[in-house]
Amino acid sequence: MVDLPYSIEVPAVGGMERRPWPSWGPQALLCFWLARCACGIGVNWGTQASHPLPPSTAVEMLRASGIDKVKLFDAEAAPLSALANSGIQVMVGIPNGMLAGLAAEEKAARRWVAKNVSDYVDDGVDVRYVAVGNEPFLAAHNESYLSTTLPALQNIQAALSAAGLSDRVKATIPLNADVYRSSTNKPSDGDFRADIHDLMLSIAGFLSLNGSPFTVNIYPFISLYDDPNFPIDYAFFDGSSSSIADGSLTYSNVFDANHDTLVAALRRNGFGNLSIIVGEIGWPTDGDMNANPQLAQRFNQGFVDHIASGNGTPLRPGNVDAYLFSLVDEDRKSIDAGHFETHWGIFAYDGIPKYELRRLRAPTNNSSNGSSLVGAKNVEYLDRRWCVLKPWVSLDDTRIGPSVGYACGRADCTSLGYKTSCADLDVRGNISYAFNSYYQENDQDGRACVFSGLAVVTEEDPSNSTCRFEIMIDLGAMSSMNTVGVNVFMLYVILPLLTMTLG
């Protein structure tokens, strides 16, 4: 193992300065972190959906499924409030667009922490981490966040310290796995990318000094998606004919190899004891030929079992802390990276489990396999009606192309395509799917099922065994249900307490 550095750069008044490691060293920080973390499986909860589940419903779904850790991408009030006193640990996120402001002024960081961490901690939210940015060093960002990410991290950690929260809440940066690589494809030769090498050492050093974890997003599916020659069985955890030999170690899956490339990079640069969180990992269920529920279950169950074994990876044996991506499908996510981007959920948009997923919670005496996914309760839907192409419209009608383009430009048509869930639809079916997606996105407004006179509303479900023509959640009804729940709580719990107190 590479020796640890004798000193490290830390923020100070007027800039940076080098200070010696504390006498108790980073090893003690790692032990402290391991003692306080609930290592295991959590889930990312994204909210880029046109018809999201009410946060209280989603939290009950999490608890019923045995998921006790959640990672948020923003400090949205409704999800955070719903997580109060839930027993679920929280990593709350800061979007990349906020990094510049937080980097420029420590007062801004203090205001952010006061509003989005301190207040919620006081209200019973178990905040454990602040995620400063999300994959800020991706090539797609054109170096936009290179100069602001570390200062923002430093200011947020300083703000946590000023608020008296630094012992329980740690700041980290969720980074894409492209920040490190191996010139030989062997994990043991891992190192940080040359263009950000010094920056990565400063970040790793700051994380180590503050007892914070290094957070990395690892996506075997993307490896397969980007490379048609990638051996598909190497993406999974049930054995591979494409194993990699690295000295005395053998890697039979790409997750272990990728993870240990990071471990090697950290060791090589003197941070071999820095704890690691896998911030995102998962498999989509639609939008690509390799994205379906069968492969998603194979991957996610294999990963959960791999983590539950407690064996870790060849270079980092022991527990692994990880968050599956993601909780539910998000139909308003950007599809720039691929049509699969709206289909990462282990639950559909309405909280229906897509497949069985066991061992998210430790087994009990009554269950040898731990809990499985439990769907959302009392979900209210819009009326059972769909928008489809009129049967008598000719496929040669010149209005069809622009109408489909308009619908799919404003709604989610990513289930249409080669070897997707709706690949077996005929031409009329494809057009109807596009029309219906737009119609449902707009809450079944009659004006959303016109399309120059080409469309008609039907009460006959056009879905088939693999292709589901969605009916969206009735947001108004769900909101009313939550209001009723609050009113009942006030009537039967709060008012009697007030009466006793005043009496």
> What is the DSSP secondary-structure string of 62-110?
HHHTT--EEEESS--HHHHHHTTTSS-EEEEEE-GGGHHHHHH-HHHHH
| Calpha distance 440→499 (Å, rounded) | 46
CB distance 135 to 87 below 8 Å: no
CB distance 155 to 102 below 8 Å: yes
Which two structure tokens, joined as six digits, stand for 428?
A: 């009329």
User: SS3 string of 227-244?
Assistant: CCCCCHHHHCCCCCCCCE
H/E run at residue 362: none
| Calpha distance 443→471 (Å, rounded) | 9
Which two structure tokens, joined as six digits, stand for 48?
A: 């880029």
15 Rama class: left (phi>0) / alpha (psi -120 to 50) / beta:
left
Which two structure tokens, joined as six digits, stand for 485?
A: 């729940």
How many C-beta atoms lie closer than 10 Å to residue 2's C-beta? 12
CB distance 43 to 69 below 8 Å: yes
Helix 106-113 to helix 149-162 angle, to the nearest 10 degrees?
60
| Calpha distance 33→4 (Å, rounded) | 18
What type of residue is 254?
V
SS3 call for 428: helix
Residue positions annotated with a catalytic role: 135, 280
Q: Which residues contact 31 (CB under 8 A, 6 or more apart)?
A: none
